[in-house]
Amino acid sequence: MENLKVNNRTLLQLNYKKYIILLLTFTFLLTFCKIAFSSSISVSPNSLTIDVETYGTATVEVLNEQGSPSINTLVTATSGNETIAMVSPNRRLTNPNGQAFFTITGLSNGTATITFIANNLSTPLPVTVVSNIAPCGTASSSGGGTDEFGQEKMNDNIEKDACSYHWIRTRNEIGQKNQGWIRLDWTNDVTISIMVIQTTDCNESCGEDSEDPLYIDPGRNIGSGMVQYLDEDEITWITDGEFYDEIGDVEYLFAKSITTKAIRIKKIAPNPFCKGQQSNPVIFEWQVYGIPSCN
């Protein structure tokens, strides 16, 4: 009987030790999981717009349940449409800051979604790939150059190195200033994010002297203007913003992507700080980046 009691006590002690070991193991695994497995994943920027044949960078951040960087965590990346945007590399481990970096390359005009996955978590990155859609539109202006300097020179896809340009009349018939405007119309809706106006700086450009037919006097740049787009009612013009005192090419970023059939720039005037003619500003090329493409 005494031996039986001893054996039972030993058995209870062994079972107790097994229980403690199991409890410790479970606690360790629970702690390890909290540290090792991510509880959040994010990507910046939250959306990306790039030109065709250019690239941007996406930064993925992975945190554990304690809010600390999740180190050496595998992040995979896939593109929802590889004909529009490609991501590389397609997998990467997070660094000591819990971050992994990926390159997004624009292949063709359109939209795609890049999806990043770490463990059982995922986050999307909307990507818009834009191209110059100005050549698809019809250009017009307040008047000025004709024939070899006509309005169509603004969107003929021939850039400033070729000295192909349209000059704009900035005064009306009674001599009032700041009456110059340019406009682009499309047959169907387009979505636009950015535009570039190639113009002169403060100095003359094109032609070696005033006897050259391509010669441009100093002070004929586009320094300011009001940017508007046509509302969906195709009647109302909405002001997106203005630019002032620019010297050289004007790069304008719309407050947000807009969908429209027409845009225009009103109140065009040269930069007042540039010496020279101070009238009849020159546009070599008006580039508007958006979707769909001209093809």
Q: Give the C-alpha separation, 230 to 238, whole Å.
A: 6
- For residue 116, tell me if it sits in a domain: yes
Statement to judge: residues 67 and 124 lie in one domain:
yes
Q: Which residue has the tokens 């403060």?
A: 202
Which positions of the chain have pLDDT values less than 50? 2-6, 8, 11-12, 14, 19-20, 23-24, 26-36
Beta-carbon contacts of residue 47 (< 8 Å; ≥ 6 apart): 125, 126, 127, 128
Residue 13 DSSP label: H
What CATH number is associated with residue 149? Answer: 2.60.120.260
- Residue finishing a domain among 74, 104, 131: 131
Q: What is the pLDDT of residue 279?
A: 86
Residues 243 and 282 in one domain: yes
Helix (H) or strand (E) holding 18: helix 2-36
Choose one of 106, 131, 156: the last residue of a domain: 131
Q: Identify the domain containing residue 85 by its residue range.
A: 38-131
Identify the pLDDT of residue 194: 94
Same domain, 229 and 160: yes
**pLDDT per position as a tens digit, 208-221:** 788 888 889 899 99
Provide the 10 A C-beta neighbour count for residue 23.
10
For the whole model, what pTM was predicted?
0.78
| Residue 31 confidence (pLDDT) | 45
* Residue 106, strand partner residues: 85
pLDDT recorded at residue 28: 44
Instruction: Give phi and psi for 75, each to the nearest 5.
Output: -115, 125
Cα–Cα distance, 172 to 102 (Å, whole number): 53
My answer on whether 162 and 211 are in the same domain is yes
The token pair that represents 161 in the structure block: 């190195």
- Distance in angstroms (rounded) separating the CA atoms of residues 184 and 93: 47
Query: Could you give the number of structural domains in the chain?
Result: 2
Q: Which is nearest to 190 in space by CA: 159, 165, 155?
A: 155
Q: DSSP states of 243-288 as a string?
A: E-S--SSEEEEEEEEEEEEEEEEEEEE--TTS-S--SS-EESEEEE
Residue environment code for 120-130, b if the CB has 16+ CB neighbours within 10 A, otherwise e: ebebebebbbb
10 belongs to a structural domain: no
> Coil, strand or helix: which one is 234?
coil
Q: Is the CB of residue 200 less than 8 Å from the CB of residue 285? A: no
